[in-house]
Structure formats: structure tokens, C-alpha cells
Amino acid sequence: MFCYQCEETAKGTGCEKVGVCGKDGTTAELQDVLTHLAKGVAMYAHRAAELGEREGRVDAFVIEALFTTVTNVDFDPERLLAAIRRGVAIRDEAKSIYERACAKAGRQPEILSGPAVWQPEADSDALVFQGQELSIRVRQGLLGEDIAGLQELILYALKGAAAYVDHAMILGKEDPRLFAVFHAALDFLTQDSPAVDDLLAWALKVGELSVQAMELLDAANTGTYGHPEPTPVRITSVKGKAILVSGHDLKDLEAILKQTEGKGINVYTHGEMLPCHAYPGLKKFPHLVGNYGGAWQDQRQEFDAFPGAIVMTTNCIQKPKESYHDRIFTTGLVAWPGVTHIGADKDFSPAVEAALAAPGFEEDEPEKTILVGFGHQAVLGVADKVIEAVKSGAIRHFFLVGGCDGRKSGRSYYTEFARQVPQDCVILTLACGKFRFNKLEFGSIGGIPRLLDMGQCNDAYSAIKVAGALAEAFGCGVNDLPLSLVLSWYEQKAVTVLLALLHLGVRNIRLGPSLPAFITPKVLDVLVEKFALKPIQTPEEDLVAILG
């Protein structure tokens, strides 16, 4: 195996025997096979789309295949094998659609090669062996590390964007134009000798796709559950039976809330589900009582201590401990071998039963709350107040401190940074990195809280909207606003957000805790020159550099 798609990659260069995340060699090779097949499907789907033909099953397969291979989603080789077998059938279907479209248009279909015709072995061991031949290492040898790294940059952003599109699709929102870009980008990634300039252009095009994917998901979330409203969320436990819901999927949470109504079970959010408390369509359930724990990397201790059932709706799952193996459940694309998977019927009764069988919390802890729900609608609703505060000098600067959390000790940078942000500055935050500081006391400026939690990683869209509106109000560009972005990355959705920001021309982004292994020094030079992308230094140095 070789994988360098996340920030915790071994030695900062690549996992080669087993993933730091827990992904073993077999799972890694099968993920490479699935990605290769998705490219093959996309080669046909892209050409069919150019002739005006598409098929929902084909589009959905590509999205799900990409999301499946995101870090900490699917660790189950059996499910990956099933997805690969399905992929072969879907590729045949995509090919037929393309050929029919050609016949209709009176032209000869192109004879395709590479992933379009690649044949997986029937035997699973042989298939794993084939996966090794598809390794990034092989491409690095053929194309060089710069080119292979840029290809991966594009692929990883597509994986993250696929996660957002998948969540939107689950809520019934889709846009064929976005599928077409996924297919075209994957098709581009099958080219034998792509030029660096073309790769960079595609990276920005995928950045554009990422903005559109986040916009689509925002419309799906807010269209289904209403716009997030500033809401205090309890972070201490309530006496009684309990289910903890982790991941990113709002509809799964809704289903669990409905299926636990009147059963004497309290529902808690975990990690990236925290923002759910702010949606009118979810906060209306009185048994959605609070948020438990912190970011994903602490889950093994936290789940161990949680006296109820746990449901993982997407990333980031970690190897379950024996102590809670029987009371953790997966659903959707997330999977761990041997863990009960709730299927597409979304019948969560196994989790309900496990919650009822577990002891639950024995007593109420003293109530403590934090404030969430500052999506674009809530922030822009007080835009006049914000603009006035900037003009009067009451607010000197905005910092967007957001992104993924992780295990590295260097991530304490973000806690320290947030702590040291001067009192006349406001912090916007999103994604799970905020658990490093969201329980600190920040106070407010003229009634505006100094810490505004905008939501999940995909809610970077809210930050983009707010920045755009402020730039318009001040008659300047986003880069001229008193706004600095200090981002933390771990998995591929953060790559998606980064390319979205670069596509929008945002400069001077500070990125940490370390730079991606797939960005080679040569590519970094280009990003520094074009976008002034900067690695984080110390909080003190960065604050001085930003504020003077």
C-alpha cells in the first residue's frame, strides 16, 4: 500500500505498511481499485454527458465511490469488494449509455483505454495484488512526484466534494452540472502525461466545483431543516438512557430522533454533528439534549465512557475498542469490519435496543452550554451591526480559525492562537478543529459574540458568503477585508475547502499543522507565488504578521 492523502500520513511522507488511521494494506489496495474503477466509469460518463446523456445510477456510483475512500470512512474490505463488483457493472452501463449517445449523434464512439477497460480479477487476493499495480508509487515513477502529487490534490478535493454532494443527494438535492464536472475531472486524471499548467487549472476548476457542492448542500440542509439559529447547546450530560450520533449526516440524526421519540432515550451529538442543534427542524426535538465529547481523535476514550449506543453516520471512525464494540453502529458509507451496519432502510432499532440495554447517565451534571448556529443567514441578519462595529473600530479584525482536528501535538497552535486573538477581534470557526477552543470563554463585542461557530466543514460556504457580503458592503475585495484565514487540515474535505478558497482568489491562507505530503516543494512554490499560501508558524509570530 501507499497512501498519503491525510495529514497524519506516516513520517509526513506516506503510509506504506499500515495506515496511521488504522487502514490495513488490503483495505488500502481495494480503495485504490475502487478509485480506478470510478475513473473508468467517469471516462464514459463524461463523454456521454457531452452528448447530453446521463444516468442517475452512474452519477451516484462515482460520488459514493469517491466518498467511500475518504479517510476514516470505510475500513471494511468486504464492503469495498462489493462496491468494486458493482463498479464493473456500472462501468458497463456507462459504456452502453455512451455508445447509445454516439449512435444517436451519428458518430463513432472513441476507443478508450486505461481505467475504462481495466479488468479486475475475480479472486479477491489477486484483486488486492492488482491494487498494488495501481499505487500512486507507480504513477510517481512514471510521471514524477510533482505531477502525481497534483493529480492527487485534484482527486482528494473531488473526494471531499463528493462527500458534500452525497449528503445533498440524501436530502434529495442534486445538480447534473456538478456530476458532469466530477466525470470530466476524473477523466482528466486518466491522461498519460498531463502538463503542470493543466493540472493547476483543473485544481481551480475543482475548487469552483467545491464551492458549488457546498452551496448545494447548504440549500439541502437549510431547505430541509431551516436556517441555523444562534442556539445554546448543553455540553453536560442529562440523567437517562442515551444515544450518541457522530459524523456529518443530518438526515440520519433526524431518523434517530424520530425513532427514539417517547422511548425515554436522550440523543447527543458528537463531533461534527454539533451544529445540528441550531437547525429548527432538528432542535425542535426535546430529547436532542446536548453535545458530548470533542473531536474524532478522542472517540476511543469518549465512546468507552459513554453509557449508551453510538451511531457513526460518516467519518471519522476509529478502530472500536472491545468495551463498546457491541454498542457502536455504522450507517451510510462508513463501515468497520464486524460492527453492525444499519442499512438503507435506516431502521435504527439495533441502536435503540443497545441504548436501552446500556446503563445511561446516572445523574444530571450541572448545566453548561456553548453557543452555535452562526450560519450565513444568522450572521448576515446582523450585518449592519457588524459593519458598524468595524467602521467604529470596535471590531479590528476577523479570523477564520477552522478546519479538521487531529492527534498531532502541533495542533495546540490553534488553541493558543484563539486564546491570543486580541479582545477587539472576532473569531469565526467551523469543522471539528474548533473543539480545541470552543469551550473557552471569549465574551462579546457590542452584543456580537467573539466566537461565531458557523458549523461543519462544508459550512465553509457560510464563511465564503459572509466574506463576500462584507467585501461588497465595504466596496473592496475579500483580500482587502480585515479578515485572515488560519486553517487546519486532516482529511480530504479540508483539501476541498482549500481549493474552493483558492478558486475564489483568497490569498494569504495560513495552513497547518503541517503541509500535505502530496504537495511537493515545486508545487508549493507555485502555490506560494500565486496565492501566498503560508505554513503556520507560532501563534505569536502569525498574529504579529497579520495585525502588525
- How far is residue 30 from each of residues 68, 132, 275, 378, 518, measured CA to CA in Å? 11, 9, 33, 43, 20
Closest CB 500 distance from ligand SF4, rounded Å: 21
Which residue's C-beta sits nearest to ligand SF4? 19
SS3 314: coil
Torsion angle defined by CA atoms of residues 395, 398, 404 and 405, in that order, rounded to the nearest 10 degrees: -40
Would you say 57 or 319 has its CB closer to ligand SF4?
319
**Pair 287, 261: CB distance under 8 Å:** yes
Residue 109 CB: number of other CB atoms within 10 A?
17
Q: Which of 6, 80, 81, 506 binds ligand SF4 (CB under 6 A)?
A: 6
Residue 101 CB: number of other CB atoms within 10 A?
20
| Partner touching 9 among ligand SF3, ligand SF4, none, CB below 5 to 8 Å by kind | ligand SF4
- ∠ CA 159-206-152, rounded to 5°: 55
Q: Which range of residues in 19-27, 28-36, 341-349, 488-496 is near ligand SF3 by CB under 6 A?
A: 488-496
Q: Which of 164, 399, 490, 518 binds ligand SF3 (CB under 6 A)?
A: 490
Q: Which range of residues in 7-15, 187-195, 348-356, 390-398 is near ligand SF4 by CB under 6 A?
A: 7-15
| Partner touching 456 among ligand SF3, ligand SF4, none, CB below 5 to 8 Å by kind | ligand SF3
CA proximity to 395, closest of 454, 447, 466, 461: 447
Closest CB 160 distance from ligand SF3, rounded Å: 9
Q: Which range of residues in 3-11, 90-98, 180-188, 469-477 is near ligand SF4 by CB under 6 A?
A: 3-11
Q: List binders of ligand SF4 among 70-89 (CB under 6 A).
A: 71
Q: Which range of residues in 13-21, 23-31, 446-454, 485-493 is near ligand SF3 by CB under 6 A?
A: 485-493
- ∠ CA 231-235-240, rounded to 5°: 110
Q: List binders of ligand SF4 among 448-477 (CB under 6 A).
A: none
Q: Which of 5, 210, 297, 429 binds ligand SF4 (CB under 6 A)?
A: 5
Q: List binders of ligand SF3 among 315-334 (CB under 6 A).
A: 315-316
Is 21 a residue that touches ligand SF3 (CB under 6 A)?
Answer: no
Is 318 a residue that touches ligand SF4 (CB under 6 A)?
Answer: no
Which residue's C-beta sits nearest to ligand SF3? 404
Is 493 a residue that touches ligand SF3 (CB under 6 A)?
Answer: yes
Edge-to-edge strand order for the sheet containing 425-429? Answer: 451-453, 425-429, 397-403, 483-488, 510-512, 534-535
Cα separation, 362 vs 167, in Å, equals 35
Would you say 136 or 178 has its CB closer to ligand SF4?
136
CA proximity to 448, closest of 417, 424, 421: 424
Q: List binders of ligand SF3 among 258-277 (CB under 6 A).
A: 271-272
Which set of grid coordinates corresponds to residue 1? Answer: 500500500
Closest CB 311 distance from ligand SF4, rounded Å: 22
Is 465 a residue that touches ligand SF3 (CB under 6 A)?
Answer: no
Q: Which of 215, 453, 491, 542 binds ligand SF3 (CB under 6 A)?
A: 491
Q: List binders of ligand SF3 among 230-259 (CB under 6 A).
A: 248
Q: Where is 288: in which H helix or E strand?
A: strand 288-291
List Cβ neighbours of 115 (8 Å cut-off, separation of 6 or more): 36, 37, 39, 40, 43, 190
Give the x/- contact pattern for ligand SF4 in 8-47, rule: CB under 6 A.
xx-----x---xxx-x------------------------
List Cβ neighbours of 45 (8 Å cut-off, separation of 6 or more): 54, 55, 58, 59, 62, 94, 97, 98, 179, 183
Long-range contacts of 195-198 (CB under 8 A, 24+ apart): 196/146, 196/147, 196/150, 196/526
Helix axes 56-68, 25-50, angle to 10 degrees: 150
Q: Which of 220, 328, 404, 499 binds ligand SF3 (CB under 6 A)?
A: 404
The letter for the amino acid at 217 is L
Q: Pairing relation of β-strands 444-445 and 483-488? A: unpaired
| Binding positions for ligand SF4, rule: CB under 6 A | 3-6, 8-9, 15, 19-21, 23, 71
| Binding positions for ligand SF3, rule: CB under 6 A | 248, 271-272, 296, 315-316, 404-405, 431-432, 456-457, 490-491, 493-494
